Chains A and B, each alone.
Chain A
Amino acid sequence: NAGVTQTPKFRVLKTGQSMTLLCAQDMNHEYMYWYRQDPGMGLRLIHYSVGEGTTAKGEVPDGYNVSRLKKQNFLLGLESAAPSQTSVYFCASSYSTGAATSYEQYFGPGTRLTVT
């Protein structure tokens, strides 16, 4: 049981390049999330998905796209990377919550992305 895994762990991009971050979970969770962490700002939600084939925007979605073609995978794409997207990216997953608020999110180890 690996939990939540992220690929790659580190990446350096040049401005304008594209890349895809892969998140995989083996806990059969319905909900998945992508956050970014910047110094002094905590984690901010980029996009999320409440089930296979569904995605929605979070707090800071601009410049990112996502896809959830399989329940266990959630992909985050940068079409044209910018230095402002230098950050640590975390994927997370949780059980579907309905009206409950108690289910914790399980986080991946993070991807450190630098855009030069």
Chain B
Amino acid sequence: AQKITQTQPGMFVQEKEAVTLDCTYDTSDPSYGLFWYKQPSSGEMIFLIYQGSYDQQNATEGRYSLNFQKARKSANLVISASQLGDSAMYFCAMRGLDAGGTSYGKLTFGQGTILTVHP
């Protein structure tokens, strides 16, 4: 079974500063992928960044980077230079392999972290 834990129900950050949202995971799959999604107050789910378990380098996408520490089973999201529009719920999710080594793409989500950016 896979499990994602986000221990920060809410986080606050000042505009233009960096913030780290924590995510730890548990899985016995030999290969897996980690995702971060953003959910603004309008409700849609927006894909931000992906990290594969065998990727040698941490993923980056613009102001988003993923601090992947495989031995510690953590995949923290770092947002640099926060903007007011970053205020939203953020979800960490994991995709692993089913029996037989196939990934049917199912995602396991964490509980989410609400980020509030102050001007």
Contacts and interface: CB of A to CB of B under 8 A. Distances in A.
Q: Which of B33, B104, B109 has the most CB of A within 10 A?
A: B104
Nearest to B4: A42
A107 interface: yes
B83 interface: no
Interface residues of B, number: 30
A41 to B, nearest CB: 6
A44 B111 CA distance: 10
Q: Which of A31, A88, A107 has the most CB of B within 10 A?
A: A107
A105 B33 contact: no
Report, as a range, how many residues of chain A touch the other chain: 20 to 34
A104 to B, nearest CB: 5
A31 B104 CA distance: 7
B14 interface: no
A43 to B, nearest CB: 4
Given A42-B109, A48-B104, A104-B47, 8 more contacts: A33-B106, A42-B112, A56-B104, A98-B103, A99-B31, A101-B96, A109-B44, A110-B44
Interface of B: 4, 31-33, 35, 37, 43-45, 47, 50, 52-53, 91, 93, 95-97, 101-112
23 contacts: A40-B111, A42-B111, A43-B93, A44-B109, A45-B106, A45-B108, A48-B104, A48-B105, A48-B106, A58-B106, A96-B105, A97-B102, A97-B104, A98-B103, A99-B102, A101-B31, A101-B32, A101-B97, A101-B103, A102-B33, A102-B52, A107-B37, A110-B44
